[in-house]
A and B are shown apart, each in its own frame.
Chain A
Amino acid sequence: MQTPPMPPDEAARLAALRGLHLLDSAPEARFDRITRTACRLFGVPTALVSLVDQDRQWFKSRQGLEATETPRDISFCGHTILAEETLVVPDALGDPRFVDNPLVTGPPHIRFYAGQPLLGPGGHRVGTLCLLDSVPHAFDDADRAALRELATWVDRELTFQALVPWMEGPGAVMAFVSTLSHELRTPMTAIKGALGLLAGGAGGELPEAARDLTLTALKHANRLVQLVNDLQDLEKAESGRMAFDLRDLRLLPLLTQALEGARASHGSTLFNLEPVDEALASARVRMDEGRLLQVLGLLLDHAAAASPRGAAIRVGLRLDEGRLGVTVAHVGFESATAFRETLFQRFAQTAAPGARPRGSVGLDLSLARTLGEQMGAVLGVDSEPGATVLHLTLPASAR
């Protein structure tokens, strides 16, 4: 008897197999209907979806066989996964590899075997779709072609299973996003660092045109960094892993600080703070200071990105039914109503008609809303004639 050798990709193959999360799982109709079809089509009593694990082959689907697994070293399928082609053994008694195999000499007394490798992620041969009988069979090219077709069907079911975790709700997607954002940080550190040093003159004096180009690249590198930061914050906030230090804070000084930041990045004349009466000027909210500044900054950034270049943005403090709020009004849609829902979707483009879309405004509102909600604030949008008004209603302080 010949023990099947290990394929050269064994480690990666096992990783691909385990990544499917199918080993030792319950039987599933989506596989059983394929093995049933195979038995009928080829006139054999036994058809298996066999997954070749480290030391065993385990059957995800089996017709006509009691055993749920057999040792790999006496398996036929261990041989099948060594090559792309179908392995056909018309009569095991005539094949020196299998003639004294315990599965041949004892139950289930295999005489006929045909197995087609199954392809898992990365093209690794993770198992087989195989047919068994206790009497010899002929198996011609048309039979081989039909078995390949059924195996392709199984491949699709395997891959579908592998995709499910990514499709199972936003949690898994956001976890992926978090990993990705983290991976992006090293290259971004290198890019931002190199460009910053170049622009700062650490690489020697640059000709004017080269300096301009460097500054443009640096500006966009910074935007990329911001986007990744926002993504990570969004993931953190949505998964409830973000800690908020809620304190009683005076709102006006924080709004003023956020406006200073926005003016520094978008231009000093863009934002007008409407007059604030005395009662409101001393009003307090209960928020996390850093995160409130972040939310206000996101709203101001969004307004700047979504309105035509140079159009004024009005910022105000309001008392609305006893609740303190910040409003940010910018030139916008004729009606915000239709956009109200899509506005908070990630990466939604919300540029006003005639406004030049200035880069992605994608995550601003989504993140502002998520962060705000975690602190008990509510972000909404309304329209006034010719303007879109974002309003953030804040939880009042206990005092």
Chain B
Amino acid sequence: MADPIRILVVEDEPDIRTLLQLCLVQVGGFSVELCASGRDALARLSGLAPDLILMDVMMPDQDGPATLRALRARGNQTPVVFLTAKARPEEMAEWKAGGALGVIAKPFDPMALPDEIRGLWAARST
């Protein structure tokens, strides 16, 4: 059996972070690391080397799209999936153009989220 996909969750709300961990590990069988901010993620990224980053869009201090830009500016090409409570079509298009693999709306269905991520993972172009 292949190794589980390693996901780095970047989410500022502690409860949502815990929920995502429970959902991705228990339901999805992924391997999960948690970060509370974009800065934290950028600082720890090289050590963690995740397969995929699942990141909140609206975060204080440095938001998801800004973190994605910082990531790419460092030459890191890890696929990023955004989680967002604010998904206007034009913004979603912009984020995708900015290199996001996908956008998942909040509130998400925790039992369906792992399959959704697996689908995006399978469809990635790399």
A residues near B, CB below 8 A?
182, 185-186, 188-194, 196-197, 199-200, 202-203, 225, 236, 241, 243
Contact = CB atoms under 8 A, between A and B. Distances in A.
A131 to B, nearest CB: 47
Given A196-B109, A196-B110, A189 B23 contact: no
B22 to A, nearest CB: 6
B85 A197 contact: no
B107 A202 contact: no
A189 B108 CA distance: 7
Nearest to B86: A182
B19 interface: yes
B107 A188 contact: yes
A186 B57 CA distance: 12
A186 B85 contact: yes
B44 interface: no
Interface of B: 13, 15-16, 19-20, 22-23, 26-27, 85-86, 88-90, 106-111
A192 B107 CA distance: 7
B106 A185 contact: yes
Given A197-B19, A197-B22, A197-B27, A189 B109 contact: no
A190 B13 contact: yes
Nearest to B25: A202
Given A189-B19, A193-B19, A200-B110, 14 more contacts: A185-B86, A189-B107, A189-B108, A190-B15, A190-B16, A193-B16, A193-B107, A196-B109, A196-B111, A197-B19, A197-B22, A197-B111, A199-B111, A241-B88
Contacts of A200: 27, 110-111
B23 A202 contact: yes
Nearest to B14: A190
A202 B89 contact: no
A190, A193, A243: which has the most chain B beta carbons within 10 Å? A193
A228 to B, nearest CB: 9
A394 B89 CA distance: 24
A182 B13 contact: no
A303 to B, nearest CB: 26
Contacts of B89: 243
Closest 6 CB pairs of A and B: A185-B85, A189-B107, A193-B19, A196-B110, A200-B111, A192-B107
A191 to B, nearest CB: 8
Contacts of A189: 16, 19, 85, 106-108
Nearest to A224: B107
Given A185-B85, A188-B107, A193 B23 contact: yes
A197 B23 contact: yes
A189 B57 CA distance: 14
19 contacts: A185-B85, A185-B106, A185-B107, A186-B106, A189-B107, A190-B13, A190-B19, A192-B107, A193-B20, A193-B107, A193-B110, A196-B110, A197-B22, A197-B26, A202-B26, A202-B110, A225-B107, A241-B88, A243-B90
A203 B109 CA distance: 15
Given A182-B86, A185-B85, A186-B85, A193 B108 contact: yes
A241 B91 CA distance: 12
A182, A185, A188, A203: which has the most chain B beta carbons within 10 Å? A185
B15, B20, B107: which has the most chain A beta carbons within 10 Å? B107
A185 B106 CA distance: 7
Contacts of A190: 13, 15-16, 19
Nearest to A197: B110
A325 B57 CA distance: 41
Contacts of B16: 186, 189-190, 193
Contacts of A199: 111
Contacts of B111: 196-197, 199-200, 202
Contacts of B27: 197, 200, 202
Nearest to A228: B107
Contacts of A197: 19, 22-23, 26-27, 110-111
B37 to A, nearest CB: 16
A196 B23 CA distance: 9
A293 B50 CA distance: 38
Contacts of B19: 189-190, 193-194, 197
Contacts of A194: 19
A292 B26 CA distance: 38
Contacts of A236: 88
A296 to B, nearest CB: 20
A196 B107 CA distance: 11
A182 B58 CA distance: 11
Contacts of A193: 16, 19-20, 23, 107-108, 110
